[in-house]
Amino acid sequence: MAVALKHVLTDAEFTKLRDDMVKHGIRARGVRDPLVLEAMAAVPRQDFLPQELREFAYDDTPLPIAAGQTISQPYIVAFMIEAALLKGGEQVLEIGTGSGYAAAVLSQIARDVYTVERIGQLAEKAAATLEEYGYSNVHVRHGDGTRGWQAHAPYDAIIVAAGGPAIPESLTAQLKIGGRLVIPVGDGERAQELVRITRVSDTEFRREELADVRFVPLIGDEGWQPDNVRPGPAQRRPMPRREEAPEKAIAQAAEPFGAIDATELSPLLARIGEADLVLIGEATHGTSEFYRMRASITRALIERRGFNFVAIEGDWPDAARIDHYVRHRDAKPSEWTAFARFPTWMWRNHEVRDFVDWLHKLNSARRAENRVAFHGLDLYSMHDSIRFILQYLDEVDPETAAVARERYGCLTPWQKDPASYGHAALTGTFQTCEAQVVAALKDLMAKRNAYADKDGERFLDASQNAQLVVNAERYYRTMYYGSRASWNLRDQHMFDTLKTLLKHHRPGAKGVVWAHNSHVGNAGATEMAGRGEFNIGALCRKQFGRNCYLIGFGTDRGTVAAASDWGGALEIKTVRPSQKQSYERLMHESETPRFMFGLRDRTAPHVRALFRPRLERAIGVIYRPDSELSSHYFEAVLPDQFDEYIWFDETQAVSPLKAHEIEGYPDTYPFGL
């Protein structure tokens, strides 16, 4: 066998790789503090790696070091140090020395870095490396870092590189007033939340949630107990029990159907019963069958059960354009297009347009007050919303408009890129606009009676937009790198909007919600619960109980409309056949190509068979088939998640609307260009 000679990288090559990493892997992802970027560019990460891993030093991943531990991913090291808000010259404590790499980066900024490592072998090795390469202001100690390092306290900043169940009090006690503790916390073994605690006074602390992260466990007196560390997700995966033959029970219970439009929906309507809210999910944001079946069920609910509105996982102002059209409201022709932002195909597609046209026609035969409305629950339209509020106020109350214009002006610099507002607020380089947007909402609500008397529908529009801006402002501040807090904020906003709608549309109003399975299915029955996340489905269950009916969808394979990255181009991608140990695989093995069944009857054999936790697939606007198992599957208990499940073994992508396909429509048409 020929032995390939491995190319050994030179120092110059390492430097080039490192500069690239700082530019593309760190700066481009939002870390902007020059002190952090310079420090990352200065420390050779390869020096902290075992010989055989040196060549991977600038891959943006954590890597194994000795004793089953890891050297953190460069981006997360930079992110955490930035979150500690260092200005230079501080006294800093690090818990979890590991290889010593993060301590070396910190040493470029801080005056002194004290670092504690629990595993003696690692502490020794790191101390030797740091000494060898001349990081003389780093001091390593072998011990339990959950107790801090009292001898050198108090600290300007403490950074913890391992995740514990709670915040160790010894650490907060060793902070200076004004000092920051950055630490991953969480009781889930899959993920923690990165939290920043700021000591405001002797007794007061402020807590901010910064990001979802994944670290090795923090083991010690004020961390996890050594024998209590829960096994990783791989070991927890449920094993199929052969003897049950759940696929047989599924086939038995399945109500098969063929063509979507010819499907007999009476059994489903009977199961829905008197529920006032029906939440209909989708397992992807780009599957034609899900959209068409959802529309078909919704038509039946409107025609046969008197439902009054549809509310979608789309932004309020965009859906309002559709609403004007379908309810024949006297709105000015608009110069803008609904759902024109990424991911456009999610709502600008033939499937949705067919429904919208149907609703427009149905409503034309109804009196105005009986028309079925169309609303958006989501909050990504901060700037469109501001524009509409100002437009509205200009018409009804120019004086208030002038005050509101001033207040919303705070957010103007971030018009193009609201996410960078969140970042600026997070790093303290920009004051938040919270007080201003809350005041603008209050002003509007204070005049509710005067305004709403003129036109209740338009007031609802304006006040919902103002509420949206308040929540979006908070959302962007907490969203930085996708934290639990921002997920919950968004779903809480969607649920509150839903409740506003129920109140707004006559007493006893009934609504249908269209959103992804991950918003509609009860989060309490999935691994989201372990991360402290909830969603519309969970909130509905809690507040309305059986009065809301949750419907989920699933598929085995086919094609889907999705992007590869956020903001990326639409692609028609192949959906991989479902993974072993997933619910989808079971449904597939039932050999029933299309079916639905109810899940509320816990004594039914198929429900009993589905009660064992399994994996479930979720495809959003992004689909990455290559990393499918880790990025698109999560654990769930299906009969606790949904009341009904609808299966399409093979599915096709939605068909996005093309420009020429809407020629000849009136200029009130919401999908216009």
607 binds ligand SAH, rule: CB under 6 A: no
CA–CA gap between residue 294 and residue 416 (Å, rounded): 34
What minimum distance in Å lies between the beta carbon of 87 and ligand SAH? 21
Binding mask 157-186 for ligand SAH (x = CB under 6 A): ----xx------------------------
Nearer to ligand SAH, 174 or 517 (CB): 174
What minimum distance in Å lies between the beta carbon of 229 and ligand SAH? 10
Place of tokens 């809210």: 277
Beta strands in 274-393 (DSSP E): 277-280, 309-315, 373-378
Q: Which stretch binds ligand SAH (CB under 6 A): 219-227, 277-285, 453-461, 492-500?
A: 219-227
CA–CA gap between residue 149 and residue 169 (Å, rounded): 13
CA distances from 640 to 1, 78, 139, 645 (A): 56, 40, 52, 11
C-alpha 573 chain-centroid distance: 22
Q: Which stretch binds ligand SAH (CB under 6 A): 191-199, 212-220, 428-436, 526-534?
A: 212-220
- Write down the H helix ranges in 480-568: 484-504, 517-520, 536-544
What minimum distance in Å lies between the beta carbon of 95 and ligand SAH? 5
What are the phi and psi torsion angles at 207 (to 5°)?
Answer: -115, 130
Nearer to ligand SAH, 134 or 428 (CB): 134
CA–CA gap between residue 388 and residue 393 (Å, rounded): 9
Q: Assess whether 72 carries a catalytic annotation.
A: yes
CA distances from 273 to 57, 277, 452, 547 (A): 60, 11, 35, 9
Place of tokens 């608009």: 334
Candidate list 107, 146, 436, 641; residue touching ligand SAH; CB under 6 A: 146
What minimum distance in Å lies between the beta carbon of 173 and ligand SAH? 16
Residue 14 in tokens:
């390492």
Helix H or strand E segment including 117: strand 112-117
Residue 634 in tokens:
């999560």
What minimum distance in Å lies between the beta carbon of 533 and ligand SAH? 25
Amino acid symbol at 310 = V
57 binds ligand SAH, rule: CB under 6 A: no
Count CB-CB contacts under 10 A for residue 180.
Answer: 23
The C-alpha angle 619, 554, 271, rounded to 5 degrees, equals 135
Nearer to ligand SAH, 106 or 320 (CB): 106
Nearer to ligand SAH, 104 or 607 (CB): 104
Q: Which SS3 state, helix, strand or coil, does residue 197 take?
A: strand
220 binds ligand SAH, rule: CB under 6 A: yes
Candidate list 22, 49, 72, 299; residue touching ligand SAH; CB under 6 A: 72
Q: Which stretch binds ligand SAH (CB under 6 A): 92-100, 178-186, 293-301, 351-359?
A: 92-100
Catalytic residue among 72, 463, 486, 582: 72
Nearer to ligand SAH, 113 or 444 (CB): 113
Nearer to ligand SAH, 96 or 281 (CB): 96
Nearer to ligand SAH, 71 or 586 (CB): 71
Q: Total number of residues binding ligand SAH (CB under 6 A)? A: 25
Helix H or strand E segment including 171: helix 169-173
What minimum distance in Å lies between the beta carbon of 170 and ligand SAH? 11
Site for ligand SAH in 100-129 (CB under 6 A): 101-102, 116-119, 122
Candidate list 223, 286, 598, 672; residue touching ligand SAH; CB under 6 A: 223
CA–CA gap between residue 303 and residue 327 (Å, rounded): 16
Residue 70 bridge partners (DSSP): 64
Output the CA torsion 483→486→488→493 (10° steps): -170
Q: Which SS3 state, helix, strand or coil, does residue 31 take?
A: coil
Half-sphere exposure in the Cβ direction for 536 (13 Å, CA): 32
Closest C-alpha to 480, from 113, 79, 117, 163: 79
63 binds ligand SAH, rule: CB under 6 A: no
Candidate list 46, 99, 518, 578; residue touching ligand SAH; CB under 6 A: 99
- Sequence-separated (6 or more) residues with CB below 8 Å from residue 303: 362
Nearer to ligand SAH, 146 or 284 (CB): 146
What are the phi and psi torsion angles at 573 (to 5°)?
Answer: -110, 155
Closest C-alpha to 126, from 85, 95, 164: 95
Nearer to ligand SAH, 223 or 286 (CB): 223
What minimum distance in Å lies between the beta carbon of 282 and ligand SAH? 39
Nearer to ligand SAH, 107 or 590 (CB): 107
Q: Which stretch binds ligand SAH (CB under 6 A): 140-148, 280-288, 374-382, 531-539?
A: 140-148
Candidate list 49, 219, 520, 575; residue touching ligand SAH; CB under 6 A: 219
Q: Which stretch binds ligand SAH (CB under 6 A): 49-57, 66-74, 172-180, 245-253?
A: 66-74
Count CB-CB contacts under 10 A for residue 62.
Answer: 18
Candidate list 21, 92, 218, 539; residue touching ligand SAH; CB under 6 A: 218
Candidate list 25, 96, 554, 613; residue touching ligand SAH; CB under 6 A: 96
Residue 324 in tokens:
């004007």
What minimum distance in Å lies between the beta carbon of 186 and ligand SAH? 15
Nearer to ligand SAH, 69 or 590 (CB): 69
Site for ligand SAH in 36-55 (CB under 6 A): none
Residue 548 bridge partners (DSSP): 277
Residue 536 bridge partners (DSSP): none
Amino acid symbol at 357 = D
CA–CA gap between residue 67 and residue 62 (Å, rounded): 15
81 binds ligand SAH, rule: CB under 6 A: no
Q: Which SS3 state, helix, strand or coil, does residue 442 take?
A: helix
What minimum distance in Å lies between the beta carbon of 100 and ligand SAH? 6
Candidate list 49, 71, 85, 181; residue touching ligand SAH; CB under 6 A: 71
Catalytic residues: 72
Interface residues toward ligand SAH, by CB under 6 A: 69-72, 95-96, 98-99, 101-102, 116-119, 122, 144-146, 161-162, 216, 218-220, 223
